Amino acid sequence: MFTIRSAAAFDSAHFLAGYSGKCANLHGHHWVVEVEAAQADIQETGEKRGMVLDFSDLKKALRALAEELDHAMLYEAGSLRETTVQALQAEQFRLVALPFRPTAELLAKYFHEQLAAQGIPVQRVTVYETPENAASYEVRT
Q: Which residues are catalytic?
A: 23, 71, 129
For residues 8 and 127, what is the distance between their CA atoms, to the nearest angstrom?
10
**CB burial of residue 29 (10 Å; 0-12, 13-18, 19+):** buried
Instruction: List the one residue out of 13, 36, 33, 35 whose CA is nearest residue 25.
Output: 13
Residue 21 DSSP code: S
Q: What's the distance, CA 106 to chain centroid? A: 8
